[in-house]
Structure 1
Amino acid sequence: MVWWKVALISIPILGIIVWLGLPKLLHAMGLHPSYDMPSYNLKGKRALVITTSHDTLGETGKATGVFGSEMTVPYYAFLDAGLDVDIASIKGGEIPVEPFSMGWPLATPEDKRFKQDATAMSKLKHSIPINEISPDEYDVYYMAGGWGAAYDLAQSRALAELITKANANNKVLGSVCHGALGLVSAKNVDGRPLLEGRNVTGVTNRQIKQLGIEVTPKHPETEMRKAGAKFELQTATIEMLATHVAVDGNIVTGQNQNSGYETSHRILALLADKKQL
């Protein structure tokens, strides 16, 4: 058989193997690890998923936004537990999504479900502006990450005021990865930084450096430490394959994109405990 005939046969086969195999390989390496989510029935409770509105990575011109699974995994964890779930962003309107984060080879089952869900996609395109949200309207205020969050979560006065008041009302506050920046400008009931003395986590400086995204103006580990937080983390040779969740009172934080499942679980567990009181 001549070489070009071999190529005609082998190249498509190789492409299929890569297409099917790469997501499984990444999962086996530790990306989006499997997680056994307990079942909850929290009908009547409400959760708000908060995201960035920023769509450009600095002056590079590259597109950015929310990282898909950091929004979709908690969204469906809350929804499947019976909660009513809304999506808000700093400016409202259509939310930018980090390119490729909801596509091959990174997509989680929740990413795929979200893209086929007309109601969810409508919420993504018509998100609620954060300045229209009441601090007593929801039981959970959860902030998703993605590199866009480095440009507007910590910088938003409206978000800081919302989280400050929600905390005073003993609401459950959560975040994953860069979403933790939504906590750093909020205050405790005594006027001190909300995170002062609290055990929390977020994406590490080491992961940011490994991914080459130091261009962003705010880094969660740096900003949380500045706010007086007791910053927790797990590490790995490839930092994005690590995962850690910190729970301190009404605050639940996840280290990175791998932490969405457990973060959602711990948030739901807090809600279930409060429901029983």
Structure 2
Amino acid sequence: MSLKDPNIVKRIKRVAIVIANSTLSTTTGWPVGFWWSELTHPYYEFTEKGYQVEIFSPDGGKCEADAMSDPNDASGYSSSDLISQGFIHTEKLRSLVDNTKPIADLNIDEFDALVVAGGQAPMFSFEHATALQDKFVAFYESGKITAALCHGVAILRYVKGSTGEYLVKGKTVTGFANVEEDFADNAVWEYGLLSRDKHVMPWRIEDELKKMGANFVQAGLWRGFAIRHGNLITGQQNFSGAETAKAIIEALGE
């Protein structure tokens, strides 16, 4: 049998990762965007498996990351994130963030999995990202692996299936948990960045998805965690990028 026999040639898997366009927080007034590790860690896991990855955003074009997700930021919060550091300093990879494709251009037939990454921006912008909402539902209802990570799970607050029910109803999911929102609020209060009558986020993923009929689970403060329910995969927070990607790879049979 020839090595060129199409019956034994392995088809390359293709994954679309969606990152948020930058916007302004309505609660803090700060510029917000996507989170580096939620792009770079899944990208690393997928490309190590030989997958092809393309990066999209709701509007297309250049995207900006949340400052604290940059390992070079003065806060030092992400200074140990060597995967993101390597991505940022590899011109070919960094250019992918500067030239994202608009989600409206995504052809579902060309991809095996869709991943919506987080950061702070999704909490303020996904309500109006109707093209992303439509693609997410269409991808899910096509039976393909459809995933969201951290605050990217905010997309589930807005998407309904063809039955008219919220997609998340009756699903076991995770996302940025209340215990982590509490930690973030306390941190900005302690440093005097916000008054104690204000919160970093305008609403909470755990609370809202529970109200919508989801079975929300989480693994504890800053624990890497992802869970699968059918062809829907969700990851808890910014330390869960690798776990989310590995769950997708397992679901794809690789």
- The two structures have a TM-score, normalised by structure 2, of 0.83
Determine whether 1:137 maps to 2:110.
yes
TM-fit CA distance, 1:51 = 1.2
Aligned to 1:21: none
CA contact (8 A) 1:145 1:177 kept: yes
Aligned to 1:190: 163
The 2-side partners of 1:203 and 1:59 are apart by: 17
The 1-side partners of 2:40 and 2:64 are apart by: 14
Q: RMSD of the alignment, in Å?
A: 2.0
Normalized per residue, which structure has more helix? 1
CA contact (8 A) 1:181 1:223 kept: no
TM-fit CA distance, 1:272 = 1.5
Aligned to 1:254: 235
1:116–1:131 Cα change, 3 Å: same
Identity among equivalent positions (%) equals 28
* Secondary structure at the counterpart of residue 228 of structure 1: coil
Provide Cα deviations, 1:66-111, integer angstroms capped at 9, x if missing partner.
1110111011111221111111111111111010312143142220
Alignment: residue pair count: 229
Partner AA of 1:81 in structure 2: K
The 1-side partners of 2:62 and 2:202 are apart by: 23
Aligned to 1:69: 37
**Which structure has the greater CA radius of gyration?**
1
The 2-side partners of 1:147 and 1:61 are apart by: 12
Partner AA of 1:75 in structure 2: Y
Aligned to 2:22: 54
Aligned to 2:207: 222
TM-fit CA distance, 1:59 = 5.5
TM-fit CA distance, 1:189 = 4.2
Partner AA of 1:260 in structure 2: G
Determine whether 1:158 maps to 2:143.
no
CA contact (8 A) 1:243 1:259 kept: yes
Partner AA of 2:67 in structure 1: P
TM-fit CA distance, 1:188 = 2.9
TM-fit CA distance, 1:175 = 1.7
- Structure 1 residues 89-128: aligned runs within 5 Å: 89-104=57-72, 105=76, 106-107=78-79, 108-128=81-101
- The two structures have a TM-score, normalised by structure 1, of 0.76
TM-fit CA distance, 1:61 = 3.4
The 2-side partners of 1:79 and 1:227 are apart by: 35
TM-fit CA distance, 1:149 = 1.3
* Secondary structure at the counterpart of residue 136 of structure 1: helix
Residue range with higher mean Cα deviation, 58-67 or 135-144: 58-67
- Listed as ranges, the gaps of 5+ residues in structure 1 are 1-40
CA contact (8 A) 1:245 1:254 kept: yes
Match of 1:147 among 105, 120, 141: 120
Q: Runs (4+) of structure 1 moved beyond 6 Å? A: none
CA contact (8 A) 2:173 2:229 kept: yes
